[in-house]
Amino acid sequence: MFLKFFPTPLLFLLLCSLSTILADYDADPTRSTMEQFSGYPTQEPDSVSSFSVDAVSSFSVDAQGLQKQIDELSNFSDTPSPSVTRILYSKMDVFARRYIKNLMGLSGLSIREDAVGNIFGRWEGYEPELTAVATGSHIDAIPYSGKYDGVVGVLGAIEAINVLRRSGFKPRRSLEVILFTSEEPTRFGISCLGSRLLAGNEALMKSLETVVDSQNISFFDAARAAGYANDEEDLPSVFLKKGSYSAFVELHIEQGPILEEEGISIGIVTAIAAPASIKVDFEGNGGHAGAVLMPNRNDAGLAAAELALAVEKHVLESGSIDTVGTVGILELHPGAINSIPSKSHLEIDTRDINEMRRNTVIEKTHQSAITIAKNRGVRLSEFKIINQDPPALSDKSITKAMQAASQELNLSHKLMISRAYHDSLFMARISPMGMIFIPCYKGYSHKPEEYASIEDIANGVKVLALTLTKLSLY
Ligand code: GLV
Ligand code: MN
Ligand code: MN
């Protein structure tokens, strides 16, 4: 019935590869393990049709326009170019959101915003009662970050919609572009805030009632200043039911060096590593840096320094290259050169593709914090695990669709793991999920040197567009 909406060459290739995808929907998802998804195919991908020349040419990405948008968006920043700093609900975040909503409108998407500012742009399918296929990412940026992290997955998704419109495609299932609120934990210490809430995280909803930022501004005051959360009672309306989408696909820069080093255009993500973050506070007596002799000190700063080294030790003890740990925040109070720190605050990020190994690092770090506090005569006033998430597996049928799309576009591709977390980690709880990676310069990310070529971005947009067609027609 959808035949009349589709140009012939494109239709041909979609039908050819669709059978591969449909066959896989029968697969038992419980058979999927991290090992299976370790980044190496356990079997050759099924053969798929070749892409006809006509259909390839109908997929034209406006590379120049997309680069211009990436550059323009990067100007909404609290730090000078080439760095980008765009913090949740800040003025720059609000301007950037407006910019995206404008583009969504120009692409003919109907826009909805939820109570925390997740933004949805919908292209209605010709069977609108079916669950939609979604794609998207984030535009918030950590301090002194780059201009591609997340942005490629939002602007790229809007451009994928434009590509499909230009090609004459008509979606069967509706297609939605999602801009997720606060993927980065910068302001309130909570990563993937928007997607965690979409996935129905009630504990998070409760904790938002009391959470404040470093300036003591509450989550709700900050949200209201940006035009959201006018009614605190509205928060449960953000939750989406499991099965709200038939598929979710996120396009993102790799944030690692593999694709560039191996000269491969497309990474097909099979699993996302398990992240955790912890906040620690030590309290000592402080005092005069000259007058208090060394044996009489209870230095909270040194306790923090010792714990930072302990994190590194416990991570290395795991024996796996996949275990990582970072102390990205270490603050001393009162912060004067001639005052012994009376308080210290650390924020620890640790991840692994193996959840148990990651949990062992957390337990050992906790033990170390207790021992260090005892030995140094300081108080461990807080050891709070902010999040301790399990890993997520991509859905095999979506992985297959992405592989088929790459193949039909004649783009080299490989299966790989995402060591960074993404909103996809939480979308996987309510929808089958997949991610498309593109190469980035030297794997740089979370710093101003982050860069992806427009050719690589355009390839990612094409793979996303073609994948969306397959998922939309299913
Ligand atoms: C995402 O920004 C991450 O830290 O992995
Ligand atoms: Mn990031
Ligand atoms: Mn990101």
Q: How many Cα atoms occupy the beta-carbon half-sphere of 433 within 13 Å?
A: 27
So what's the pLDDT on residue 233? 81
Report CA(355)–ligand 2 centroid distance (Å): 21
Nearest ligand to the CA atom of 139 = 3
So what's the pLDDT on residue 100? 98
Let me know whether 377 and 438 are in one domain: no
Residue 33: CB partners within 8 Å, gap ≥ 6?
none
Nearest ligand to the CA atom of 191 = 1
Of the three residues 328, 356, 388, the one that is the final residue of a domain is 388
Report CA(433)–ligand 3 centroid distance (Å): 16
Residue 393 bridge partners (DSSP) = 271
Let me know whether 38 and 185 are in one domain: yes
Q: For ligand 1, is residue 274 a contact (CB within 6 Å)?
A: no
Report CA(138)–ligand 2 centroid distance (Å): 9
Q: Can you give the residue range of the structural domain that contains 84? A: 2-273+393-473
Closest ligand 1 atom to residue 422 Cα is: 1
Q: What is the CATH number of the domain that holds 187?
A: 3.40.630.10
Nearest CA to ligand 1 atom 2: 184
Nearest CA to ligand 1 atom 5: 420
Let me know whether 378 and 413 are in one domain: no
Q: What is the CATH number of the domain that holds 381?
A: 3.30.70.360
Three-state SS sequence of 311-343: HHHHHHHCCCCCCEEEEEEEEEECCCCCEECCE
| Both structure tokens of 253 | 């820069």
So what's the pLDDT on residue 282? 99
| Both structure tokens of 99 | 């910019």
Q: For ligand 1, is residue 420 a contact (CB within 6 Å)?
A: yes
Closest CA to 137 of 372, 390, 415, 464: 464
Of the three residues 388, 422, 452, the one that is the final residue of a domain is 388
Let me know whether 343 and 357 are in one domain: yes
Report CA(421)–ligand 1 centroid distance (Å): 5
Q: By three-state DSSP, how is residue 266 classified? A: strand
Please say whether the dihedral angle defined by the alpha carbons of residues 408, 414, 416 and 420, taken in this order, is positive or negative. Answer: negative
| Residue whose structure tokens are 């591969």 | 20
> Which residue from 184, 269, 419, 426 has its CB within 8 A of the most atoms of ligand 1, so it is best to mutate?
184
107-121 confidence digits (pLDDT tens): 999 999 999 999 999
Contact assessment for residue 448 and residue 257, using Cβ atoms and an 8 Å cutoff: no
Q: 10-residue block means of pLDDT along the chain (474 residues)?
A: 45 46 37 40 36 61 98 98 98 98 98 98 98 98 98 98 96 98 98 98 95 97 96 91 97 98 98 97 98 98 98 98 98 98 98 97 98 98 98 97 96 98 98 98 98 98 97 94
Closest ligand 1 atom to residue 420 Cα is: 5
Domain count, the chain: 2
Output DSSP code: residue 423.
Answer: T
Of the three residues 369, 388, 407, the one that is the final residue of a domain is 388
| Both structure tokens of 300 | 């909270």
